[in-house]
Structure 1
Amino acid sequence: MRFTWAQRLTIAAAIAVAPMSAAHAWNESGHRIVARIAWDELTRPQQVFASELLVRHPRFAEDFAARMPPDIAARAADDPERQRWVFMHAAIWPDLLKAEGKRLSERIAALPAGAEKTELERRLADVKRYDNATWHYDNKPILIDPYALPPAAPPGAKPIGVQQALPNALRELDDRNLPAERRAVALAWVLHLLGDSHQPLHAVSLFSARHLPQGDLGGNVFFVVKPRPADPTPVRLHAVWDDMLGTDPKLEAATKRQIVAAFPRSRLKQELAEPADPPAVEAMVNLWLDESYRAADTSVYDANLRAALLAPLPAGATSALPVALDRRYLPAALPVARRRAALAGYRLADCIRRAESRSRP
């Protein structure tokens, strides 16, 4: 497939401005589906434990209650449907922080000095207390050719990624001596980061000496075109996987049922088995990230994508991007994504069970 100069210029511009931390994980539907899988795995006392903790969240009024649909807000605080909504909403809360921070920054930039600007600056500072952009991913390199090498790490401490952030959040959730407000924030991050850790493109960065010498940032600067008759506009490979579980909130319950039917807990016994001597949380999270890395290595970056980056360029071309996805790509990718979501949901439920059992008097 040939692409216009306008398409290639658009991609080049997007690559040039893409931040090194660009990563969005599953979209909102994807994160809510993972949370829904976990919720339905929990006993009623375990659901109540999680719900009562989340209402102690220090930003519950602004980020939860203010966003409730009217039919949910009208229900009693202990209503299971309302509690499930809060639980699923917590799974997208860290991504909402990023959007709220951007919105407030834009409003502040457009205002003159004064009381309104001061108030918005206060609100932005509170959002930034909880927003941690680098926590969502850890990009282990995949080298596609012998000359593809990750760039030397810049001086200074390495930013905290999901490999460190998720174990820390799990420890804080389990610590009954911490204030409930802090454990509520930890639970929201666990809900989100456990999903992130199972999205294959949150564990890797592909390096190509010719086309992606700085890495593709988890597919964020790897542009592809979906098979016809889809829209021919190039999209980020990361976005293709973010949307793999769907984008329509009305279909989330049905999608969750399909995922659980295809990948019941009994089918995933080997991956979900808990050893007699439980490993440290760091080892557990590393295992999940290693699974995501292998899924990316074998399924995300398939033979067609690799061949496109390694093949000689046509006369006059300066880049292999965007790459046209083979018509078999999406049908093959869907069960991989759904399996990862099922594992994330079951593991999330197991983490909440442990936290609830440790919180009993």
Structure 2
Amino acid sequence: MRLRFSFSFLSSGVLTVKRYSLRIIPLIVVLVLFSQCFAHAWNFAGHRIIASIAYDQLEPATQLAMVELLKQHPRYEQDFQSRMPDVIKTASPAIQNRWLFMRAATWPDIARRFDDANREKYHHGTWHYINQPIYLNAESKQFLSPILPTNIATSIKEGDDPTQFNILQALEYCVTQMKDSAVSKADKAVYLCWIMHLTGDSHQPLHSSALFSQKTFPEGDLGGNSIRIGKSNLHSQWDGLLGNSFKYSDIVGHAVGIARNPAMKQLGEKATQQMDFSTWINESHELAREKAYCSEILDAALKSEVTDGKFQKLTSLPKSYYQQAGTIAAKRAAQSGWRLAELIKNVQ
């Protein structure tokens, strides 16, 4: 199980968009709620917030083209049409199209729950991350760097196995497939889902990195999944920073709030000047190293190194940690949303 965090934002005004009254979201983020759910990447709400931000940066013709492509998805009926809530089915075509686009961003996580045959076909666990190393100390780096047990390749080489791709290789592969005129529309719909999802994942700091130490984490801490905090873990807590609502209006409201904030808008627009996937991961890696793995975590890991090598669960982290993390998450959502829109423009 995982512990998610729902954040609300101080309101500076009300913006009416389509049928919903939505709050503008400034930069100050406060922790308001804990709830438990399963861990994957940015959670359901996080990926859909990013997708909604991207959707609004696309021209109407491109929006429609992407929705029509998604309708060619080989599992469109099972995973999209039949899962559309009644409140969306009775809404306008514009709302239905946005809902389909946002759901596509979560489809690679939905594929985790398929039966064996379909799971083998559509689920690619290693595609969601890359474990760029963060070494606990100099001794760990000296011992482990020559034998690092993880795929940190930044591009695809001849002979690489697609089932073992990391996130950088997977993004490269999916973009190549989207641009290939010989690839069927059904397959392109699947690759579009992956591009949307992995663009979001690449902006989550703990999908870029893992903590390595000679005794406690010789194979890495799985992007924070092995750092237990209360009833959860570090990775799960970061996954939930963008909220946990399943409501369409809440998700679109958060997305509009981020996108309409002048500072966030400027950050997102500037982000499109850097469209190299390695840059996205390096940004996340720096945030993981400087912000995610705080002194409390590193101190606990160092203690485990000199004792039995078993990381002792932390009771909690300071409230200031989550406030800072929430602000980082909102910024990364803005960057990811604008970059996703730019990427879609380039591959359509």
Relative to the length of structure 2, the TM-score reads 0.77
Q: Displacement of 1:207 after TM fit? A: 1.4
Instruction: Note the alpha carbon deviations across 1:114-144, whole angstroms, 9 max, x for none.
Output: xxxxxxxxxx423421111111111111001
Unaligned runs of 5+ in 1: 1-21, 102-123, 225-232, 275-280, 357-361
Which is further off, 198-207 or 165-174? 165-174
- Superposed CA offset, 1:247-290 (max 9, x none): 1123322322332216433234543226xxxxxx8xx1111111
Amino acid at match of 2:84: M
Q: Is the Cα contact below 8 Å between 1:30 and 1:245 reproduced in 2?
A: yes
What residue number does 2:204 align with?
199
Superposition deviation, residue 154 in structure 1: 8.6
Q: Is the 8 A contact 1:211 1:320 kept in 2?
A: no
Q: Which has the higher strand share?
A: 2
Deviates more, 1:22-31 or 1:295-304: 22-31
Q: 285, 290, 296: which one pairs with 1:298?
A: 290
Q: Is the 8 A contact 1:65 1:73 kept in 2?
A: no
Query: In 2 relative to 1, CA 65–353 (structure 1 residues): closer, same or farther, beyond 3 Å?
Result: same
- Are 1:336 and 2:328 an aligned pair? yes
Residue by residue, what CA displacement relative to the aligned partner does 1:300-331 show, whole Å, maximum 9, x if unpaired?
11233223322589999964433631221101
Post-superposition offset of 1:62: 1.1
Cα deviation code 1:230-256 (max 9, x no counterpart): xxx331100100000001123322322
Q: Which position in structure 2 is the counterpart of 1:227?
A: none
1:42 to 2:38 alignment:
no
Aligned partner letter, 2:255: K
Q: What's the CA shift for 1:60?
A: 0.5
Q: Does 1:353 align with 2:345?
A: yes
Q: Secondary structure at the match of 2:138?
A: coil
CA distance in 2, matches of 1:132, 1:235: 24
- 3-state SS of paired residue (2:319): coil
The total of aligned residue pairs comes to 295
Correspondent of 1:183 among 182, 185, 188: 188
Q: Which residue of 1 aligns with 2:241?
A: 244
Asked if 1:219 corresponds to 2:224, the answer is yes
Q: Is the 8 A contact 1:308 1:323 kept in 2?
A: no
d(CA) in 1 for partners of 2:307, 2:279: 44
Deviations 1:174-223 (A, max 9, x none): 33442211111111111111111111111101013343232110011111
Partners of 1:336 and 1:286 in 2: CA distance? 19
After the TM superposition, which of the residue ranges 214-223 and 253-262 deviates more from structure 2?
Answer: 253-262
Name the amino acid aligned to 1:27: N
Distance of 2:344 and 2:160 partners within structure 1? 31
Which residue does 1:117 correspond to in 2? none
Contact 1:23 1:202 in 2 (8 A): no
Instruction: State whether residues 263 and 342 of structure 1, in contact with CA within 8 Å, keep that contact through their aligned partners in structure 2.
Output: no
Change (3 A) 1:141 1:178: same
1:173 aligned residue: 178
User: Could you say if the C-alpha distance between residues 175 and 157 of structure 1 is closer, same or farther in structure 2, counting changes exceeding 3 Å?
Assistant: closer
Greater mean alpha carbon deviation, residues 333-342 or residues 150-159: 150-159
**Secondary structure of 1:324 counterpart:** coil
Q: C-alpha displacement at 1:42, in angstroms?
A: 1.1
- Unpaired segments ≥5 residues, structure 2: 1-37, 152-158
> What's the TM-score, normalizing by structure 1?
0.74
Distance 1:314 1:216, change over 3 A: closer
Change (3 A) 1:181 1:143: same
Taking the aligned partners of 1:174 and 1:264, their CA distance within structure 2 comes to: 30
Report the secondary structure of 1:328's partner residue. helix
> Counterpart in 2 of 1:208?
213
The answer (yes or no) to whether the contact 1:223–1:237 under 8 Å persists in 2 is yes
Name the structure 2 match of 1:273: 273
Rounded to whole Å, the distance in 1 between the matches of 2:171 and 2:281 is 11
**Is this contact kept in 1: 2:271–2:339, CA < 8 A?**
no
Give the 3-state SS of the residue equivalent to 2:114 in structure 1. Answer: helix
Would the aligned equivalents of 1:234 and 1:322 in 2 still touch at CA under 8 Å?
Answer: no
Q: What is the root-mean-square deviation of aligned Cα atoms in Å?
A: 2.8
Distance 1:200 1:319, change over 3 A: closer
